[in-house]
Structure 1
Amino acid sequence: MPATLDRILSQRPTDYFLGTCDPCRLPVHATAPEAREDVRHIACPQCGAKTRVSRIYATTVDASCDAACMGAVGPACSCSCGGANHGRSWAPATYESHTTADALARYRERLDKQERERARKAEAERRRRRAAFEAWAKDYGDVIEFLKSTDINNQFIDDMRRYVDRLDVLTERQTAAVRKFIENERRRAAEDKRRKEEAENAGPVPEGKQTLTGEVVMADIYDNHFAYNKSDYKMLVRLDNGAKVFGTIPRALQTSPTTEGNLFGLRGVRVRFDATVTAKAGEPTFGYFKRPTKATFI
C-alpha cells in the first residue's frame, strides 16, 4: 500500500484479505476466491481469536520518480516506472499497488469530505459576495437598472454589465463613469426628441429670393476645397417657421469675438438677411442659401 492516496486512477478487487489479530497483534492474511463482501471474520491461525480482515484492492495511483531516476545518466532503472521516465526530469508516472477495502473507503470518505468543504466555502463566498453587492446596490439602483435594461453597443457599458451580472461591486470611478454615461444618454435622447418635434412642426423652406429671419443654431469653419489655404465661415439658421437653412456667414455678422466652440459668438443670436434659398431635394424643411446681403442682428 502506498504511503499516500492522493489520486487513485483505477482499482481492482483481489481474492486476498488482510487484518490484524487484536489479542496477539499479528497480521492475518487469508485467501477467499468465493467471497463477495469486502470484510470477513476468520480465526487467527496463532490464537484462534475471531479476526476482522479486509479485502485487498489492486490500485493504480499517481507517482513521480525521484531525482535518481528522472535525472539519471546511466542505462539501469530499478524504480516503479520500469524505465518509462528514466532520464526525463520530473515527468509524472503511475504504478500499480495494493490497498485494502477499508483504506479505499477512508480514501473515498476523505475525498467526499474535501468536496463538501469546497462546496461549503464556495457557498459561503457566494453569500458574502451577494451580501456585499446587495448592500452596494441600495445606493446604486439607477446604475444597475440602466446596465440591465440598455442595449447600447458600448464596450465599457458591456464590461460594467458583466460585472453586475456576476455580483461584482463597481468602484467609485466606475460608478461615476456609468452615471455620467446615463446623463449623456438622457441629454442626447432629449435633444433627439426636440429635433424630431422641430422637424415635425417645421414649415417648408421659402425658396427663391427671400428676406430670412431666424436664430443661428450653429456656426463653424469649413475647408474650402476649391482654393488653397482658404476656409469658409458657415452658419445654420432656424427660421421663424421652423425650417432650417445653411450657408455662408455674411461679413456684417462677423463682428463679435469668437468664443470657444462658438464662431463669432453667433450661436443663439437672432438675425435677418436677404438671400436666395433652394430647398434640399427630398427634405422640404431644409435648404441652402447663397449671396446673403443686408444682414443685421435683431
Structure 2
Amino acid sequence: MPATLDRILSKRPTDYFLGACAPCRLPVRATIPDTRDDARHTACPQCGTWMRVSRVYATTVDASCDAACMGATGPACSCSCGGANHGGSWAPATYESHATADALARYRERLDKQERERARKAEAERKSRQAAFDAWAEDHGDVIEFLTATDIDNTFIDDMRRYLRRLDVLTERQATAVRKFIEGARRRAAEEERRKAEAEAAGPAPEGRQTLTGEVVSAKIRDNDFSPSGADYKMLVRLDNGARVYGTIPKALQTRRTTEGNLFALRGVRVQFDATVTAKTGEPTFGYFQRPTKATFI
C-alpha cells in the first residue's frame, strides 16, 4: 500500500540496508546496527565486491507483507512489517532458497528490460542526431572537409572538430566563423607562397653606398629610448632585383598623411634614395641601409 505524505514524513529508520552488486547483478541486504549514516558500504556475499548500500526506512501501515516487500530492491518499506521483511529475499540466509531464485530472476529480468530500453533510446537518439547532422552537412561540405582534414593548432578549430565527432550541428554563426578562418588560411598560404617565390627569385642585396630603387613593403614606428622623439620610423623596401633592405625612413618620405595601419601612406609606393647597405650574414638577399639621402617618390 502506498504511504501517504504524513506517513512518509514520519518514516522510521531501520538497521537494514539494501544495495545492488553490479558484477553479480544481484541485490544485497545487510543488517548494520548502531550507525547514524544512511549510506554504508559492505561486501557482496557472492563475489566480495565492496559496494554501497542504503538504509531501509519503514512506514508502518495496515497492509500485509507480500512478495513485493520481500523482493524489494528500494530503500522504503511501507507495510506492517516495519521493515523487518523488506528485501528479505536478499538476506544472506536465503541466497539458496527457491524464493530467492525467483526473485533474482525477476530482478534480472527488470535489469535486462531497463538496459534494452536504454539501448533503444540511445539508438533512437543517435539516429535522430545523425539525420539532423546529415541534413546540415548537405550545405556545409566545405566546413566539414576543412575541419576533418586540417591539423592547424587552434582552440576554436579544435572545438569545432570535437562538435563534428559528436555529430553536433554547428550554428550558422560557427559555420561562418569557420569559413572566414578557411579564407584567412588560404590567403596566408598564398602570401607565403608568393614570398617564397620572391625570395627564390631575389638577387643579392647590394653592398656599400648605393642608389636604391624599389617598392615600400611596410613602414612602422619602433620605440627607441635613445631617440629625441622616443621612436624611430622604419621601412622595408623591396628593390628592383627582389632583394629587401631595412632602415630608417628618410625625412623627405615622411610628408604624406598617415592612414590607419599605413605610416606616411608609404606601403606600396615606389621610392628612390641613396644609402649605405650591409648584407645580413647568412641571408644575402636581405640588407640593412644607413644614412639615407636624396630620397624621392617615383
Both structures adopt the same fold (TM-score exceeding 0.5): yes
Q: Is 1:127 the equivalent of 2:106?
A: no
- After superposing the two structures, state which structure 1 stretch, 188-197 or 110-119, moved more: 110-119
User: Considering only aligned residues, what root-mean-square deviation do their CA atoms show, in Å?
Assistant: 2.3
Contact persistence 2:39–2:55 (CA under 8 A): no
Q: Is 1:83 the equivalent of 2:33?
A: yes
Which position in structure 1 is the counterpart of 2:276? 276
Instruction: Report the Cα offset of residue 101 of structure 1.
Output: 3.5
Contact persistence 1:81–1:93 (CA under 8 A): no
Which position in structure 2 is the counterpart of 1:21? none
Instruction: Report the Cα offset of residue 9 of structure 1.
Output: 4.2
Which position in structure 2 is the counterpart of 1:173? 173
Distance 1:228 1:267 in 2: 25
Q: 1:60 to 1:169 in 2, by over 3 A?
A: closer
- AA of the residue aligned to 2:37: R
Give CA deviations for 1:216-245 in whole Å, capped at 9, x if unaligned.
Answer: 010011111423652111111000000000
Distance 2:32 2:243 in 1: 92
Q: Where in structure 2 are the equivalents of 1:209-288 lying within 5 Å?
A: 209-227=209-227, 229-288=229-288
Q: Is 1:289 the equivalent of 2:289?
A: yes
Equivalent pairs counted in the alignment come to: 228
- After superposing the two structures, state which structure 1 stretch, 165-174 or 100-109, moved more: 100-109
Which position in structure 2 is the counterpart of 1:159? 159
- AA of the residue aligned to 2:232: D
Which secondary structure does the structure 2 equivalent of 1:246 belong to? strand
Q: 1:213 to 1:110 in 2, by over 3 A?
A: same
Give CA deviations for 1:103-162 in whole Å, capped at 9, x if unaligned.
Answer: 432322222111111111100000000110111111111111111111111111111111
Q: 1:60 to 1:273 in 2, by over 3 A?
A: closer
Which position in structure 2 is the counterpart of 1:61? 28
Q: Percent of pairs identical after alignment? A: 70
**Which structure has the highest strand share of the two?**
1
Distance 2:249 2:227 in 1: 18
Distance 1:82 1:104 in 2: 23
Which secondary structure does the structure 2 equivalent of 1:256 belong to? coil
Please point out which of 89, 97, 106 is paired with 2:88.
Answer: 97
Unaligned runs of 5+ in 2: 1-17, 41-53, 57-85, 90-98
Query: Which TM-score applies when normalising by structure 2?
Result: 0.71
Q: 1:9 to 1:161 in 2, by over 3 A?
A: closer
Distance 2:259 2:278 in 1: 31
Q: Which has the larger radius of gyration?
A: 1
**Which structure has the highest helix share of the two?**
2
Give CA deviations for 1:225-278 in whole Å, capped at 9, x if unaligned.
Answer: 423652111111000000000111111111110000001100000011111111
Give CA deviations for 1:169-191 in whole Å, capped at 9, x if unaligned.
Answer: 11122111111111111111111
Contact persistence 1:60–1:97 (CA under 8 A): no
Q: 1:171 to 1:84 in 2, by over 3 A?
A: farther
Distance 1:131 1:118 in 2: 20
Unaligned runs of 5+ in 1: 1-5, 11-58, 63-79
Which position in structure 2 is the counterpart of 1:186? 186
Which position in structure 2 is the counterpart of 1:34? none
Give CA deviations for 1:56-102 in whole Å, capped at 9, x if unaligned.
Answer: xxx8535xxxxxxxxxxxxxxxxx845153x3356624886223533
Which position in structure 1 is the counterpart of 2:147? 147
